[in-house]
Structure 1
């Protein structure tokens, strides 16, 4: 299993960049941060750059992607922005589901994935991470943190990552 270290920060920055670049609604209303996890913290995904297999299989503890859902004169354009995927960037939603998620691959096993979908504006205001999940039990960095400052929520909260990734079928 591979421990995810900063995909949540990458999605936070990606949402901001999509808005800044004019590729998303100015308020981010067409963006969604999607946290994927389960009670076991073992979620299978394919076409992941961190994989060492030909099919890109990885067993993450959790993963975060951005989904953009745009409606224009009756046309629907749903895209997945996954910075850790080897699929097209962005990837059409249906292709991403079929290739990376592969919904039927594990059925009702302990590897079943749960999804917490957070509307972009709420995610950008409320998410916070002090990067403590990036340290080992002795307090040493598992991987060096990014050089930019940790993300702090508008209300001053410095860490609520677990509220996003703790998932249960009872939720």
Structure 2
């Protein structure tokens, strides 16, 4: 969907120009950030972009057929997100195993941060506060062991280090669970071919409690910083 004046300032960019393969959200966000850098919507280095992994610590799987989130898989980690295109429900609820979005810092306009989620039915982009209230819904009651956590990585660091050979999308027989993108898999600058699991492994013990430390980690660490409140974290990196 295109953005509207009621959400964020108008952006002259056709959403169809973004690379998007269903169920490969980490790669979609990687190339979304690259696209934003080359379309004069951000610093050419991605300095105002942040990659956010949404997952939880428990990593417990639940058998269910009520909501399908990946072809051929009937188990999922409890990561509820609303207004998702993959949902068959009116409220757009999907229980992902993990999800990845992009947050962009804006130096002009009413909203300091906006969210890009190519899997969402919400306006694209959308103010961070609106995305949190409508898609994440912090007030939704979840057992403590399933609480959603957020790993935030500065895009320039993500560009240097992230790699995925898509092994997580194959079953035990080596068959694809979902059709992979047509382009080559992403290889890190140091030659690493797969480290996606490092980004997905999010522990409550890793949540930063010091505002100075969390800001430093976001802008300097390969795996960024872990937070349990997305809006609160970004309020410290203005």
Could you state the TM-score of these two structures normalised by the residue count of structure 1?
0.93
| 1:90 pairs with one of 119, 122, 125 | 125
Alignment of 1:138-157 (within 5 A): 138-157=173-192
Compared CA separation, residues 95 and 75, structure 1 to 2 (3 A): closer
Give distance in 2, aligned partners of 1:63 and 1:51.
14
Count of matched residue positions in the alignment of Structure 1 and Structure 2: 167
Give distance in 1, aligned partners of 2:149 and 2:120.
19
Q: 1:66 aligned to 2:84?
A: no
CA distances 1:101-152 after superposition (whole Å, capped 9, x unpaired) = 0011025533310000000100111100000011011100111111100000
- Structure 2 residue ranges without an equivalent (≥5): 1-21, 60-76, 207-238
Alignment of 1:41-56 (within 5 A): 41-56=77-92
Q: Which moved more, 1:104-113 or 1:147-156?
A: 104-113
Give distance in 1, aligned partners of 2:84 and 2:93.
6
Give distance in 2, aligned partners of 1:88 and 1:96.
9
Do 2:169 and 2:178's aligned partners in 1 also have CA atoms closer than 8 Å? Answer: yes
Structure with the larger RCO, 1 or 2 (CA within 8 Å, 6+ apart):
1
Partner of 2:204: 169
Give distance in 2, aligned partners of 1:5 and 1:106.
26
Do 1:44 and 1:101's aligned partners in 2 also have CA atoms closer than 8 Å? Answer: yes
| 2:33 pairs with one of 15, 20, 28 | 15
Give distance in 2, aligned partners of 1:109 and 1:55.
23
Partner of 1:29: 47
Structure showing greater Rg: 2
Higher strand share: 1
SS at match of 1:71: coil
SS at match of 1:98: helix
Do 2:80 and 2:96's aligned partners in 1 also have CA atoms closer than 8 Å? Answer: yes
Do 1:106 and 1:112's aligned partners in 2 also have CA atoms closer than 8 Å? Answer: no
Partner of 2:147: 112
